[in-house]
Chain A
Amino acid sequence: MGLLSKKDTRLILDPLADNNPITIQVLGICSALAITAQLKASIVMAISVMAVLALGNVVISLMRNIIPSKIRIIVQLVVVAALVIIVDQILKAYSYQLSKTLSVFVGLIITNCIIMGRFEAFALGNSPWRSFLDGIGNAAGYGVILIIVGFFRELLGSGTLLGFQVLGDPINKTGLYAIGYENNGFMLLSPMALIVVGIIIWVQRSRNKALIEDH
Protein backbone atom coordinates (compact mmCIF):
# COMPACT_ATOMS: atom_id res chain seq x y z
CA MET A 1 0.00 0.00 0.00
CA GLY A 2 1.30 3.41 -0.92
CA LEU A 3 1.12 6.49 1.18
CA LEU A 4 -2.28 7.39 -0.24
CA SER A 5 -5.01 4.82 -0.72
CA LYS A 6 -7.62 5.34 -3.40
CA LYS A 7 -10.02 6.77 -0.85
CA ASP A 8 -7.36 9.15 0.41
CA THR A 9 -6.63 10.45 -3.06
CA ARG A 10 -10.31 11.21 -3.53
CA LEU A 11 -10.24 13.27 -0.34
CA ILE A 12 -7.78 15.57 -2.03
CA LEU A 13 -9.12 15.53 -5.57
CA ASP A 14 -12.88 15.74 -4.93
CA PRO A 15 -12.87 19.24 -3.44
CA LEU A 16 -10.95 20.50 -6.45
CA ALA A 17 -13.93 19.97 -8.74
CA ASP A 18 -17.10 18.03 -7.92
CA ASN A 19 -17.18 18.89 -4.25
CA ASN A 20 -15.57 22.30 -4.41
CA PRO A 21 -15.97 24.23 -1.15
CA ILE A 22 -16.91 27.48 -2.87
CA THR A 23 -18.94 26.46 -5.89
CA ILE A 24 -20.67 23.34 -4.50
CA GLN A 25 -20.56 23.55 -0.71
CA VAL A 26 -20.92 27.36 -0.86
CA LEU A 27 -18.47 27.91 1.99
CA GLY A 28 -15.95 30.71 2.22
CA ILE A 29 -17.73 33.02 -0.20
CA CYS A 30 -17.17 36.09 1.97
CA SER A 31 -13.39 35.97 1.82
CA ALA A 32 -13.53 35.02 -1.85
CA LEU A 33 -15.33 38.30 -2.52
CA ALA A 34 -13.16 40.40 -0.28
CA ILE A 35 -9.62 39.70 -1.33
CA THR A 36 -9.67 38.61 -4.97
CA ALA A 37 -9.12 42.05 -6.50
CA GLN A 38 -5.50 40.99 -6.98
CA LEU A 39 -3.97 37.69 -7.93
CA LYS A 40 -1.18 37.97 -5.36
CA ALA A 41 -3.58 38.46 -2.47
CA SER A 42 -5.59 35.44 -3.66
CA ILE A 43 -2.51 33.22 -3.67
CA VAL A 44 -1.35 34.36 -0.23
CA MET A 45 -4.84 33.76 1.17
CA ALA A 46 -5.02 30.30 -0.41
CA ILE A 47 -1.73 29.25 1.16
CA SER A 48 -2.64 30.67 4.59
CA VAL A 49 -5.99 28.91 4.61
CA MET A 50 -4.33 25.65 3.60
CA ALA A 51 -1.93 25.81 6.55
CA VAL A 52 -4.63 26.66 9.07
CA LEU A 53 -7.23 24.23 7.74
CA ALA A 54 -4.88 21.23 7.57
CA LEU A 55 -3.47 21.90 11.03
CA GLY A 56 -6.86 22.70 12.57
CA ASN A 57 -8.44 19.59 11.06
CA VAL A 58 -5.75 17.43 12.67
CA VAL A 59 -6.17 19.08 16.09
CA ILE A 60 -9.97 18.74 16.01
CA SER A 61 -9.71 15.18 14.78
CA LEU A 62 -7.37 14.26 17.65
CA MET A 63 -9.83 15.76 20.10
CA ARG A 64 -12.96 14.44 18.41
CA ASN A 65 -13.75 11.83 21.08
CA ILE A 66 -13.45 14.15 24.04
CA ILE A 67 -15.19 17.25 22.68
CA PRO A 68 -18.62 17.66 24.33
CA SER A 69 -21.11 17.85 21.48
CA LYS A 70 -23.04 20.69 23.10
CA ILE A 71 -20.19 23.14 22.85
CA ARG A 72 -18.35 21.74 19.87
CA ILE A 73 -18.72 24.91 17.77
CA ILE A 74 -17.16 26.98 20.53
CA VAL A 75 -14.32 24.47 20.85
CA GLN A 76 -13.72 24.69 17.09
CA LEU A 77 -13.68 28.47 17.25
CA VAL A 78 -11.19 28.43 20.12
CA VAL A 79 -8.92 26.01 18.28
CA VAL A 80 -8.83 28.00 15.06
CA ALA A 81 -8.44 31.35 16.82
CA ALA A 82 -5.63 30.05 19.00
CA LEU A 83 -3.84 28.48 16.03
CA VAL A 84 -4.04 31.60 13.92
CA ILE A 85 -2.85 33.87 16.71
CA ILE A 86 0.09 31.63 17.57
CA VAL A 87 1.16 31.48 13.92
CA ASP A 88 0.77 35.25 13.66
CA GLN A 89 2.91 35.85 16.75
CA ILE A 90 5.65 33.52 15.53
CA LEU A 91 5.71 35.22 12.14
CA LYS A 92 5.88 38.64 13.80
CA ALA A 93 8.92 37.56 15.79
CA TYR A 94 10.85 35.64 13.16
CA SER A 95 9.60 36.80 9.77
CA TYR A 96 8.44 40.34 10.30
CA GLN A 97 8.07 41.36 6.65
CA LEU A 98 5.96 38.29 5.85
CA SER A 99 3.72 38.96 8.82
CA LYS A 100 3.17 42.51 7.55
CA THR A 101 1.97 41.11 4.24
CA LEU A 102 -0.31 38.63 5.96
CA SER A 103 -1.64 40.91 8.68
CA VAL A 104 -4.99 41.63 7.07
CA PHE A 105 -5.55 37.99 6.25
CA VAL A 106 -5.34 36.83 9.84
CA GLY A 107 -8.79 38.09 10.76
CA LEU A 108 -10.21 36.81 7.50
CA ILE A 109 -8.88 33.30 8.16
CA ILE A 110 -10.52 33.04 11.58
CA THR A 111 -13.88 34.04 10.19
CA ASN A 112 -13.59 31.87 7.09
CA CYS A 113 -16.54 29.52 7.15
CA ILE A 114 -14.66 26.82 5.22
CA ILE A 115 -12.59 26.19 8.32
CA MET A 116 -15.56 25.78 10.66
CA GLY A 117 -17.44 23.93 7.95
CA ARG A 118 -14.77 21.28 7.48
CA PHE A 119 -14.16 20.91 11.24
CA GLU A 120 -17.86 20.27 11.69
CA ALA A 121 -18.48 18.14 8.62
CA PHE A 122 -15.30 16.09 8.48
CA ALA A 123 -12.72 16.36 11.25
CA LEU A 124 -15.21 15.55 14.01
CA GLY A 125 -15.84 12.13 12.50
CA ASN A 126 -12.57 11.06 10.89
CA SER A 127 -9.03 10.07 11.77
CA PRO A 128 -6.28 12.71 11.91
CA TRP A 129 -4.54 11.58 8.71
CA ARG A 130 -7.72 11.63 6.67
CA SER A 131 -8.68 14.96 8.21
CA PHE A 132 -5.31 16.35 7.26
CA LEU A 133 -5.83 15.27 3.63
CA ASP A 134 -9.34 16.68 3.68
CA GLY A 135 -7.95 19.98 4.91
CA ILE A 136 -5.36 20.09 2.15
CA GLY A 137 -7.92 19.13 -0.49
CA ASN A 138 -10.56 21.64 0.53
CA ALA A 139 -8.08 24.45 0.93
CA ALA A 140 -6.74 23.63 -2.55
CA GLY A 141 -10.26 23.66 -3.99
CA TYR A 142 -10.88 26.99 -2.31
CA GLY A 143 -7.53 28.28 -3.57
CA VAL A 144 -8.23 27.26 -7.17
CA ILE A 145 -11.43 29.30 -7.25
CA LEU A 146 -9.73 32.22 -5.52
CA ILE A 147 -6.94 32.21 -8.06
CA ILE A 148 -9.32 31.98 -11.03
CA VAL A 149 -11.42 34.87 -9.72
CA GLY A 150 -8.31 36.86 -8.79
CA PHE A 151 -6.88 36.28 -12.27
CA PHE A 152 -9.92 37.70 -14.07
CA ARG A 153 -10.51 40.55 -11.64
CA GLU A 154 -6.93 41.76 -11.76
CA LEU A 155 -6.63 41.30 -15.52
CA LEU A 156 -9.88 43.05 -16.43
CA GLY A 157 -9.96 45.50 -13.54
CA SER A 158 -6.38 46.72 -13.44
CA GLY A 159 -4.89 45.30 -16.64
CA THR A 160 -2.13 43.66 -14.60
CA LEU A 161 -1.22 40.18 -13.38
CA LEU A 162 0.76 39.88 -10.14
CA GLY A 163 1.44 43.58 -10.59
CA PHE A 164 2.92 43.31 -14.11
CA GLN A 165 1.21 45.39 -16.77
CA VAL A 166 0.41 42.61 -19.21
CA LEU A 167 -1.99 44.65 -21.35
CA GLY A 168 0.20 47.71 -21.72
CA ASP A 169 0.23 50.97 -19.82
CA PRO A 170 -3.24 52.52 -19.35
CA ILE A 171 -1.86 56.00 -18.68
CA ASN A 172 0.63 56.27 -21.51
CA LYS A 173 -1.76 54.39 -23.83
CA THR A 174 0.48 51.60 -24.98
CA GLY A 175 -0.35 47.99 -25.89
CA LEU A 176 -4.07 47.20 -25.91
CA TYR A 177 -4.89 50.65 -24.55
CA ALA A 178 -3.58 52.22 -27.76
CA ILE A 179 -6.59 50.86 -29.65
CA GLY A 180 -9.13 52.18 -27.18
CA TYR A 181 -9.35 49.42 -24.57
CA GLU A 182 -10.21 50.58 -21.05
CA ASN A 183 -9.93 48.85 -17.69
CA ASN A 184 -13.24 47.95 -16.12
CA GLY A 185 -13.12 49.57 -12.69
CA PHE A 186 -16.22 47.65 -11.65
CA MET A 187 -14.12 44.47 -11.64
CA LEU A 188 -12.29 45.82 -8.59
CA LEU A 189 -15.47 45.92 -6.53
CA SER A 190 -16.86 42.92 -4.65
CA PRO A 191 -20.08 42.44 -6.68
CA MET A 192 -18.02 41.43 -9.71
CA ALA A 193 -16.35 38.68 -7.66
CA LEU A 194 -19.80 37.28 -6.96
CA ILE A 195 -20.65 37.41 -10.66
CA VAL A 196 -17.38 35.68 -11.60
CA VAL A 197 -18.03 32.97 -8.99
CA GLY A 198 -21.54 32.65 -10.42
CA ILE A 199 -20.15 32.14 -13.91
CA ILE A 200 -17.77 29.46 -12.63
CA ILE A 201 -20.71 27.68 -10.93
CA TRP A 202 -22.73 27.91 -14.15
CA VAL A 203 -19.91 26.50 -16.29
CA GLN A 204 -19.24 23.72 -13.82
CA ARG A 205 -22.89 22.63 -13.55
CA SER A 206 -23.56 22.75 -17.23
CA ARG A 207 -20.58 20.43 -17.80
CA ASN A 208 -21.62 18.01 -15.05
CA LYS A 209 -25.42 17.67 -14.86
CA ALA A 210 -25.16 15.46 -11.77
CA LEU A 211 -24.28 18.56 -9.73
CA ILE A 212 -27.63 20.24 -10.38
CA GLU A 213 -29.92 19.91 -7.40
CA ASP A 214 -33.59 19.43 -8.28
CA HIS A 215 -36.02 21.60 -6.42
Chain B
Amino acid sequence: MALNTDKNSYTIIFSIIMVVVVGALLAFVAQGLKPTIKENQRIEIQQNILYAMGVNENEGDGDVTFVGADKIKDEFAKYVKKQLVIQGDQVTEDPNAYLIDLKKEENLAKDANYKRRLPLFVGEKDGKTFYIIPMRGKGLWDAIWGYVSVDDALVVQGVYLDHKGETPGLGAEIKQRYFMDDFQGEQIMSGSGEAFEGISVAKGNNDPLNKTKDDHEIDALAGATITGNGVTAMIKKDVRMYIPYLQSIKK
Protein backbone atom coordinates (compact mmCIF):
# COMPACT_ATOMS: atom_id res chain seq x y z
CA MET B 1 0.00 0.00 0.00
CA ALA B 2 1.54 3.25 -1.10
CA LEU B 3 -0.70 5.29 1.12
CA ASN B 4 0.81 6.03 4.52
CA THR B 5 -2.29 6.24 6.66
CA ASP B 6 -0.33 6.80 9.87
CA LYS B 7 0.92 10.25 9.01
CA ASN B 8 -0.60 13.13 10.98
CA SER B 9 -1.14 15.20 7.87
CA TYR B 10 -3.06 12.33 6.26
CA THR B 11 -5.23 11.91 9.34
CA ILE B 12 -6.10 15.60 9.37
CA ILE B 13 -6.85 15.75 5.65
CA PHE B 14 -8.93 12.59 5.88
CA SER B 15 -11.03 13.92 8.71
CA ILE B 16 -11.58 17.26 6.96
CA ILE B 17 -12.72 15.52 3.77
CA MET B 18 -14.91 13.13 5.76
CA VAL B 19 -16.63 15.93 7.66
CA VAL B 20 -17.24 17.94 4.50
CA VAL B 21 -18.55 14.96 2.54
CA VAL B 22 -20.80 13.63 5.32
CA GLY B 23 -21.99 17.12 6.23
CA ALA B 24 -22.85 17.91 2.62
CA LEU B 25 -24.61 14.59 2.19
CA LEU B 26 -26.74 15.03 5.30
CA ALA B 27 -27.57 18.63 4.44
CA PHE B 28 -28.52 17.59 0.92
CA VAL B 29 -30.77 14.78 2.12
CA ALA B 30 -32.37 16.91 4.82
CA GLN B 31 -33.03 19.84 2.48
CA GLY B 32 -34.30 17.63 -0.32
CA LEU B 33 -36.78 15.81 1.88
CA LYS B 34 -37.85 18.75 4.03
CA PRO B 35 -41.02 19.73 2.09
CA THR B 36 -42.29 16.14 2.05
CA ILE B 37 -41.58 15.69 5.77
CA LYS B 38 -43.26 19.02 6.62
CA GLU B 39 -46.33 18.01 4.63
CA ASN B 40 -46.47 14.64 6.43
CA GLN B 41 -46.30 16.40 9.78
CA ARG B 42 -49.05 18.84 8.81
CA ILE B 43 -51.31 15.96 7.77
CA GLU B 44 -50.52 14.17 11.01
CA ILE B 45 -51.71 17.10 13.11
CA GLN B 46 -55.03 17.09 11.28
CA GLN B 47 -55.30 13.33 11.71
CA ASN B 48 -54.57 13.64 15.44
CA ILE B 49 -57.21 16.33 15.93
CA LEU B 50 -59.82 14.24 14.14
CA TYR B 51 -58.78 11.16 16.11
CA ALA B 52 -59.34 12.96 19.42
CA MET B 53 -62.92 13.76 18.42
CA GLY B 54 -63.54 10.18 17.38
CA VAL B 55 -63.13 10.44 13.62
CA ASN B 56 -60.86 7.59 12.65
CA GLU B 57 -60.68 4.33 10.74
CA ASN B 58 -60.14 2.00 13.69
CA GLU B 59 -60.86 -1.64 13.09
CA GLY B 60 -61.23 -3.78 16.18
CA ASP B 61 -60.25 -3.03 19.76
CA GLY B 62 -56.53 -2.47 19.63
CA ASP B 63 -56.28 -0.60 16.38
CA VAL B 64 -55.27 3.04 16.00
CA THR B 65 -55.84 4.06 12.39
CA PHE B 66 -56.18 7.67 11.31
CA VAL B 67 -58.26 9.01 8.49
CA GLY B 68 -56.25 8.31 5.35
CA ALA B 69 -53.86 11.01 4.14
CA ASP B 70 -55.69 11.14 0.81
CA LYS B 71 -59.03 12.04 2.39
CA ILE B 72 -57.77 14.15 5.26
CA LYS B 73 -58.31 17.54 3.59
CA ASP B 74 -62.03 16.95 3.02
CA GLU B 75 -62.66 15.20 6.32
CA PHE B 76 -60.88 17.89 8.29
CA ALA B 77 -62.96 20.59 6.62
CA LYS B 78 -66.11 18.54 7.22
CA TYR B 79 -65.70 17.89 10.94
CA VAL B 80 -63.67 20.80 12.25
CA LYS B 81 -66.09 23.72 12.06
CA LYS B 82 -64.04 26.45 13.66
CA GLN B 83 -60.42 26.99 14.62
CA LEU B 84 -60.07 29.56 17.34
CA VAL B 85 -57.10 31.37 18.77
CA ILE B 86 -57.61 32.55 22.33
CA GLN B 87 -55.30 35.36 23.34
CA GLY B 88 -56.18 36.80 26.71
CA ASP B 89 -59.79 37.97 26.37
CA GLN B 90 -59.71 38.04 22.62
CA VAL B 91 -60.96 35.13 20.58
CA THR B 92 -60.27 35.13 16.87
CA GLU B 93 -60.89 32.61 14.15
CA ASP B 94 -57.86 31.43 12.23
CA PRO B 95 -57.98 28.68 9.61
CA ASN B 96 -54.35 27.88 10.34
CA ALA B 97 -54.63 27.74 14.12
CA TYR B 98 -53.68 24.07 14.03
CA LEU B 99 -50.21 25.03 12.84
CA ILE B 100 -49.46 27.05 16.00
CA ASP B 101 -46.34 25.59 17.63
CA LEU B 102 -47.19 24.98 21.29
CA LYS B 103 -43.55 24.73 22.26
CA LYS B 104 -42.75 28.14 20.80
CA GLU B 105 -45.80 29.69 22.47
CA GLU B 106 -44.80 28.23 25.81
CA ASN B 107 -41.31 29.67 25.52
CA LEU B 108 -42.64 33.07 24.46
CA ALA B 109 -45.06 33.02 27.39
CA LYS B 110 -42.14 33.08 29.82
CA ASP B 111 -42.10 36.78 29.06
CA ALA B 112 -44.86 38.13 31.30
CA ASN B 113 -45.91 40.73 28.74
CA TYR B 114 -46.54 38.19 26.02
CA LYS B 115 -50.11 37.07 25.61
CA ARG B 116 -49.95 33.43 24.76
CA ARG B 117 -51.91 32.24 21.75
CA LEU B 118 -54.03 29.23 22.60
CA PRO B 119 -55.40 27.26 19.66
CA LEU B 120 -58.78 25.58 20.19
CA PHE B 121 -60.66 23.53 17.64
CA VAL B 122 -64.41 23.29 17.54
CA GLY B 123 -65.59 20.12 15.92
CA GLU B 124 -69.01 18.82 15.13
CA LYS B 125 -70.01 15.21 14.65
CA ASP B 126 -73.52 13.75 14.60
CA GLY B 127 -74.96 17.04 15.87
CA LYS B 128 -72.67 17.07 18.89
CA THR B 129 -70.08 19.77 19.53
CA PHE B 130 -66.54 18.92 20.52
CA TYR B 131 -63.87 21.26 21.84
CA ILE B 132 -60.46 19.89 21.07
CA ILE B 133 -57.58 21.14 23.20
CA PRO B 134 -53.96 20.58 22.19
CA MET B 135 -51.45 19.76 24.93
CA ARG B 136 -47.72 19.42 25.21
CA GLY B 137 -45.60 18.20 28.13
CA LYS B 138 -42.64 16.15 29.22
CA GLY B 139 -42.40 12.38 29.50
CA LEU B 140 -39.46 10.41 30.82
CA TRP B 141 -37.03 10.92 27.95
CA ASP B 142 -38.49 13.56 25.72
CA ALA B 143 -41.58 15.49 24.75
CA ILE B 144 -45.09 14.08 24.93
CA TRP B 145 -48.10 15.75 23.38
CA GLY B 146 -51.70 15.10 22.62
CA TYR B 147 -55.21 16.33 21.99
CA VAL B 148 -58.17 16.01 24.30
CA SER B 149 -61.72 16.61 23.16
CA VAL B 150 -64.45 17.64 25.61
CA ASP B 151 -68.15 18.26 25.09
CA ASP B 152 -70.30 21.15 26.34
CA ALA B 153 -70.43 19.68 29.84
CA LEU B 154 -66.61 19.40 29.91
CA VAL B 155 -66.69 15.62 29.87
CA VAL B 156 -63.83 14.02 27.96
CA GLN B 157 -64.95 12.50 24.66
CA GLY B 158 -61.63 11.22 23.46
CA VAL B 159 -57.90 11.77 23.56
CA TYR B 160 -54.97 11.21 21.32
CA LEU B 161 -51.54 10.95 22.94
CA ASP B 162 -48.15 10.69 21.32
CA HIS B 163 -44.53 10.89 22.38
CA LYS B 164 -41.11 11.47 20.91
CA GLY B 165 -38.97 8.89 22.65
CA GLU B 166 -40.64 7.02 25.51
CA THR B 167 -39.44 3.48 26.22
CA PRO B 168 -40.98 0.93 23.83
CA GLY B 169 -43.27 -1.45 25.69
CA LEU B 170 -43.51 0.84 28.73
CA GLY B 171 -44.00 4.60 28.40
CA ALA B 172 -44.59 4.29 24.66
CA GLU B 173 -47.84 2.50 25.51
CA ILE B 174 -49.58 5.83 26.14
CA LYS B 175 -50.50 5.89 22.47
CA GLN B 176 -52.21 2.49 22.68
CA ARG B 177 -55.97 2.21 22.53
CA TYR B 178 -56.35 0.56 25.93
CA PHE B 179 -54.75 3.55 27.59
CA MET B 180 -56.26 6.35 25.50
CA ASP B 181 -59.77 4.87 25.57
CA ASP B 182 -59.80 4.97 29.37
CA PHE B 183 -60.08 8.75 29.26
CA GLN B 184 -63.48 8.70 27.58
CA GLY B 185 -66.23 9.86 29.91
CA GLU B 186 -63.91 11.25 32.58
CA GLN B 187 -64.75 14.62 34.12
CA ILE B 188 -62.14 17.34 34.13
CA MET B 189 -64.04 19.57 36.57
CA SER B 190 -64.52 18.80 40.25
CA GLY B 191 -67.84 17.40 41.49
CA SER B 192 -69.72 20.69 41.67
CA GLY B 193 -68.41 21.63 38.24
CA GLU B 194 -66.79 24.84 39.42
CA ALA B 195 -63.11 24.10 39.91
CA PHE B 196 -60.68 22.52 37.46
CA GLU B 197 -59.38 19.18 38.63
CA GLY B 198 -57.86 17.49 35.59
CA ILE B 199 -57.30 13.77 35.19
CA SER B 200 -54.56 11.85 36.98
CA VAL B 201 -52.80 8.75 35.76
CA ALA B 202 -52.96 6.90 39.07
CA LYS B 203 -51.34 3.74 40.33
CA GLY B 204 -53.43 1.42 42.43
CA ASN B 205 -56.79 3.07 41.96
CA ASN B 206 -58.32 -0.42 41.92
CA ASP B 207 -60.25 0.38 38.80
CA PRO B 208 -58.38 -1.25 35.91
CA LEU B 209 -61.43 -1.26 33.65
CA ASN B 210 -62.03 2.37 34.50
CA LYS B 211 -65.69 1.91 35.38
CA THR B 212 -65.72 4.85 37.80
CA LYS B 213 -65.84 7.89 35.60
CA ASP B 214 -66.03 10.63 38.25
CA ASP B 215 -62.83 9.86 40.16
CA HIS B 216 -60.55 11.89 37.86
CA GLU B 217 -58.27 8.87 37.67
CA ILE B 218 -56.99 6.62 34.88
CA ASP B 219 -55.30 3.32 35.64
CA ALA B 220 -51.54 3.77 35.20
CA LEU B 221 -49.22 1.70 33.01
CA ALA B 222 -46.89 -0.73 34.76
CA GLY B 223 -43.29 0.37 34.46
CA ALA B 224 -44.13 3.81 33.12
CA THR B 225 -44.54 5.94 36.24
CA ILE B 226 -42.69 9.00 34.98
CA THR B 227 -44.45 9.00 31.62
CA GLY B 228 -47.80 8.66 33.42
CA ASN B 229 -46.96 11.53 35.74
CA GLY B 230 -46.00 13.51 32.64
CA VAL B 231 -49.44 12.90 31.15
CA THR B 232 -51.11 14.00 34.39
CA ALA B 233 -49.01 17.15 34.56
CA MET B 234 -49.59 17.93 30.90
CA ILE B 235 -53.37 17.75 31.29
CA LYS B 236 -53.30 19.85 34.46
CA LYS B 237 -51.05 22.46 32.91
CA ASP B 238 -52.50 22.87 29.43
CA VAL B 239 -56.21 22.12 29.77
CA ARG B 240 -56.43 24.53 32.70
CA MET B 241 -55.67 27.48 30.42
CA TYR B 242 -58.79 26.81 28.39
CA ILE B 243 -61.20 26.50 31.30
CA PRO B 244 -62.13 30.22 31.56
CA TYR B 245 -63.07 30.30 27.88
CA LEU B 246 -64.94 27.00 27.95
CA GLN B 247 -66.90 28.12 30.99
CA SER B 248 -67.70 31.49 29.46
CA ILE B 249 -69.34 29.91 26.42
CA LYS B 250 -71.27 27.50 28.60
CA LYS B 251 -73.14 30.36 30.21
Contact = CB atoms under 8 A, between A and B. Distances in A.
Contacts of A185: 222-223
Given A68-B10, A89-B30, A82 B22 contact: yes
A21 B25 CA distance: 31
B26 interface: yes
A70 B170 CA distance: 41
Interface stretch (B33-41, B78-86, B88-96, B151-159): B33-41
A60 to B, nearest CB: 12
Contact of A188 (B19, B22, B40, B170): B170
Interface stretch (A3-11, A30-38, A134-142, A201-209): A30-38
Contacts of B3: 65-66
Nearest to A172: B209
B5 to A, nearest CB: 5
B180 to A, nearest CB: 15
Nearest to B209: A171
Interface string B18-59: 110010011001100100110010001000000000000000
Contact of A89 (B5, B29, B164, B165): B29
B167 interface: yes
Interface stretch (A12-20, A103-111, A114-122, A174-182): A103-111
B111 interface: no
Grouping DSSP codes into helix (H, G, I), strand (E, B) and loop, the A interface class, with mixed when no group exceeds half, is helix
Given A71-B15, A82-B22, A188 B169 contact: yes
Nearest to B30: A89
B223 to A, nearest CB: 4
A190 B20 CA distance: 40
Interface stretch (A49-57, A92-100, A125-133): A92-100
A199 interface: no
A69 B19 CA distance: 17
B147 to A, nearest CB: 16
B40 A37 contact: no
19 contacts: A34-B167, A37-B168, A37-B170, A38-B168, A65-B3, A68-B11, A68-B14, A78-B22, A82-B26, A86-B26, A89-B30, A89-B37, A90-B29, A92-B40, A93-B36, A96-B40, A188-B170, A188-B223, A189-B223
Given A68-B5, A75-B14, A185-B222, 14 more contacts: A35-B167, A36-B169, A38-B168, A68-B6, A71-B14, A78-B18, A85-B26, A89-B29, A89-B33, A89-B37, A96-B44, A188-B170, A188-B222, A189-B223
Smallest CB-CB A-B distances: 10 pairs? A37-B169, A38-B169, A41-B168, A93-B36, A93-B33, A68-B11, A96-B40, A188-B223, A68-B5, A92-B37
